[in-house]
Structure 1
Amino acid sequence: MKLEKATIKTEACFSDNKQHRFYMKKVWDSKKSSALVLMLSAGSCNGLTMDYSSLFTVNNLVRLDYGSVEIMNLFTEINTPVKSAALKDTKMINSNNNMILEKAKSVDTIVFAWGRAGNTSKIVQERINQVVELLSEYKQKTCILCDEDSRKYFHPLAPKVRSIWNLQPIE
């Protein structure tokens, strides 16, 4: 019989009113590569609880031999549908942008995993364009979450990528 022990250190950064989550960091092996995964909007997970998006993200990054993840979102408001007001809150957008840049500098890989909502939502597409431009100097370490067939732009909740991630360099 072999006993295995593991520890995951977690931190999460919220707005003062706890209505916005800027990031959640999980570290299980600080000697391995780190990833920044950018998704669409903040869910209910915090320093102790995980939602399915964060669970699938950690599971897949462990399989890919990463040791930590910073999970961030295009939109920071917790459990709120993306709406036009989200882009008008410049204070939150600026805070989020600053944190995205800060985290992008310190990680080995940036993963765009916001899915295809930008195909049908002008608001999401506008925010995607902002973030892609913001991270343009980090293009060499940026990847897109793809399925096994290299189809691009998936969110971790998509059934095709829940258990197998394919990270492709951004073009």
Structure 2
Amino acid sequence: MTKEKNTIRTELLFDNDGESKLKLSVEWDKNKKKACVIMLRFGKGDGIYFDKSTSQCVKNLSSMDYGGVDIVNLFSSPDMEMNDTNINTIKNAVTVADTVVYTVGVGKKNYKAFQTAQSLILPIIENVREKLFCISDSDGNGFYHPLCPKVDTWHLTKFNTKDLLSL
């Protein structure tokens, strides 16, 4: 009989008033690479319950030989506003990651709050462009969200941040 034992460590970072989820860290192998996934906003997941987006991130990154992920979001609070705490959390997460995956999805170019938030983090992700990727399908089309059925299995593709202006 063979037994395999695994440990998944999670940490959920909130702002000082406990209203905003800033970062969810999931680690399953500290000796492997770490990714940072930037999404639009936090769902119902937490450090114990993984929503579908978090599950897709862990499943795909694990299959690509990563050992952990920091999930951050453009919007960390229910009011859908960016603040300095959230911006600094994103900045710190992308800095320590081996790979940064921008996964906010498409179809938001007329969504003013999104455009404002994205413009605030463009300089941050531009500074890490050598490790910046998006989720693409097998045909190379990119900028998918982790829940898009077309990308159940991820392909990571490098991109130019100027391409984000048309999302």
Q: What TM-score comes out, normalization by structure 2 length?
A: 0.89
Instruction: Give yes or no for the alignment of 1:136 onto 2:126.
Output: yes
Instruction: Give yes or no for the alignment of 1:94 onto 2:84.
Output: yes
Task: State whether residues 117 and 124 of structure 1, in contact with CA within 8 Å, keep that contact through their aligned partners in structure 2.
Answer: no
Instruction: Give yes or no for the alignment of 1:4 onto 2:4.
Output: yes
The alignment of Structure 1 onto Structure 2 pairs a total of residues equal to: 160
Distance apart, 1:55 and its partner CA: 0.4
CA distance in 2, matches of 1:16, 1:119: 32
Q: What TM-score comes out, normalization by structure 1 length?
A: 0.87
Q: Name the SS for the 1:119 alignment partner.
A: coil
Runs of at least 4 residues of structure 1 off by over 3 A? none
Task: State whether residues 15 and 85 of structure 2, in contact with CA within 8 Å, keep that contact through their aligned partners in structure 1.
Answer: no
CA distance in 1, matches of 2:23, 2:55: 15
**Paired AA for residue 126 in structure 1:** T
Instruction: Give yes or no for the alignment of 1:121 onto 2:93.
Output: no
Instruction: Give yes or no for the alignment of 1:159 onto 2:153.
Output: no
Q: C-alpha deviations, 1:53-97, integer Å up to 9, x for none?
A: 0001100000111000000101002xx4xxxx533xxxx521011
The equivalences for 1:13-162 within 5 A come to: 13-77=13-77, 80=78, 86-87=80-81, 93-162=83-152
Identity of aligned residues (%): 32
Task: State whether residues 23 and 73 of structure 1, in contact with CA within 8 Å, keep that contact through their aligned partners in structure 2.
Answer: yes
Q: Name the SS for the 1:86 alignment partner.
A: coil
Structure 1, unmatched stretches of 5+, are none
Q: C-alpha deviations, 1:101-153, integer Å up to 9, x for none?
A: 11111110000011114234222122122212222111111111111211111
CA root-mean-square deviation: 1.5
Structure 2, unmatched stretches of 5+, are 161-167
